Amino acid sequence: MQPHWWRTLAYLLGLLVLSLILWLAVDALAGLLALCFGLALQLTHHLRQLMRFEAWLASPTQPVPESGGLWGDVLHKVAQVIQAHRDDRARSHADLEQMLHAARLLPDGVVILDAQHRIVWFNQAAQGQLGLKDKRDLGQFIGYIVRNAAFNAWLTGAREGAFTMPAAGDSNRTLTLQWVPLPRAQKMLLCHDITELARVDAMRRDFVANVSHELRTPITVIVGFLEAFADMEQPDPRQFKNHIQLMREQSDRIRRLVDDLLTLARLEADADTQPEPVDVPTLVRSLLREAETLSGGRHRIGLEVDSDAGILGNPKEIHSALGNLVSNAVRYTPSGGQITLRWRNTPSGGAEFSVTDTGEGIEAQHIPRLTERFYRVDRGRSRATGGTGLGLAIVKHVLQRHQARLRVESTVGRGSTFTAVFPAERIIPAASATPQPPEQAAA
């Protein structure tokens, strides 16, 4: 026992002894009165302490009443229990607020529904995805806001699994929804934006279809010739030689397509490139010679080197990207046209390589999609020139790996300019940047 219990017990024992003495020494009435008076004093004390305790419990934020003895111990222990409970509540409230704050900032939409599918709570992402408003929609039936019969059937359990639907106010965004049961018959509705996944999946399907289509034609030609040869008892040597040449052209087309696909796969698989100094002025002069060879004298090809600066990058990748721009210009510029290659500095401290042609030009709606795989403005003309439809996709990936970008300017009927713009951090300044005169190679 605590010492305060002994004091209370000692008081009661002393009262009994005093009452017994008075009983024996005076009379029974005196002893009984003394006992009653002592008990009344003790009861009055406890009643007074009990009233103070009750008043304090009605307002526990007030300081603990000063009291000694047994009631002091009781008040102290009760105060400790209340403070511990208050601390627990404060911690729980802080944890709840932290969880709610985190849930509000989730990229996925979260909606809490009651048993009747009324909205109890939702986060910021759900506002944009489902078109909810903070004050207006709390307590509303979600079916009044998301007006979709299939959605309501799914939410009531008539349909199983995830549910897919367009986002509110934006049919270009796609949502997938799931609901999770909660206590008290509530539900947690989870909304995930799968627009990018749907776009990637569509690109994958288009890619497979395009590759299959690109391979089907040359393979069909080769197989057709082989079947024709198999049916010939005595093939004509000149006809046979002509067919072999056509088969070789189709085989080269397959090889170029496979090479480009492997190049794209390597560019996407490698996280980074090992930078080396690239002598761009020398490179563009070699591209001029390649363009002249590919043109075969059908075009006027010029070169303007206005900078001796180099690039810090992968030489093979840079050659591949710039070479694709040059070969495209030669392929798509009619005979007699002008093609100009330029290498020059930019005001921002970077540099750019551009290829300007006098071809047919490209309509504005096609320009944003030019770097998509197998995208062609004119499929028939592209295949006739031997393109695989992957050249600009390779250019885009190479430039991105070098923090560069592709700029396309075109006017229908007047020609196009494709420019690879390299940032200042990739440029190696030349010791002396002496502009060199344009070099012309007439057809």
pLDDT in tens, 72-112: 777 778 878 887 888 888 888 888 888 778 888 888 999 99
For residue 434, the enclosing domain spans 276-441
- pLDDT interval class at 410 (50, 70, 90): very high
| Range from 175-179, 214-218, 418-422 carrying the lowest mean pLDDT | 214-218
pLDDT at site 434: 40
DSSP 434: -
- Which helix H or strand E contains 218, and what residues bound it? helix 195-231
Write down the mean pLDDT value for the chain: 81
Same domain (yes/no): 297, 404:
yes
pLDDT at site 373: 77
Which of the listed residues 62, 83, 100 is the one where a domain comes to its end? 100
Q: Is the pLDDT of residue 5 over 80?
A: no
Measured from the Cβ of residue 170, the count of other Cβ atoms closer than 10 Å reads 13
Q: Is the pLDDT of residue 27 over 50?
A: yes
Q: Is the pLDDT of residue 319 over 70?
A: yes
What does the alpha-carbon distance between residue 137 and residue 109 come to, in Å, rounded to a whole number?
15
Per the model's pLDDT, the better-predicted residue between 385 and 226 turns out to be 226
> Interhelix angle for 237-269 vs 391-401, to 10°?
30
- Which helix H or strand E contains 425, and what residues bound it? none
Q: Is the pLDDT of residue 30 over 70?
A: yes
CATH code for position 235: 1.10.287.130
Same domain (yes/no): 371, 437:
yes
Same domain (yes/no): 78, 176:
no
How many domains is the chain built from?
A: 4
pLDDT at site 347: 92
Q: Is the pLDDT of residue 11 over 90?
A: no
Same domain (yes/no): 33, 59:
yes
pLDDT mean over 308-327: 91
Which of the listed residues 269, 296, 328 is the one where a domain comes to its end? 269
Whether this model's pTM surpasses 0.85 = no
- pLDDT interval class at 440 (50, 70, 90): very low
Residues 6+ apart with CB under 8 A from 411: 361
Of 386, 378, 359, which is closest to residue 299 (Cα–Cα)? Answer: 359
Specify whether the CB–CB gap between 291 and 355 falls below 8 A. no
Same domain (yes/no): 291, 422:
yes
- pLDDT interval class at 173 (50, 70, 90): confident
Q: Is the pLDDT of residue 418 over 90?
A: yes
Tokens 């009435």 identify what position? Answer: 29
SS3 314: coil
pLDDT at site 436: 42
Same domain (yes/no): 33, 111:
no
Residues 6+ apart with CB under 8 A from 18: 34, 38
Specify whether the CB–CB gap between 280 and 343 falls below 8 A. yes
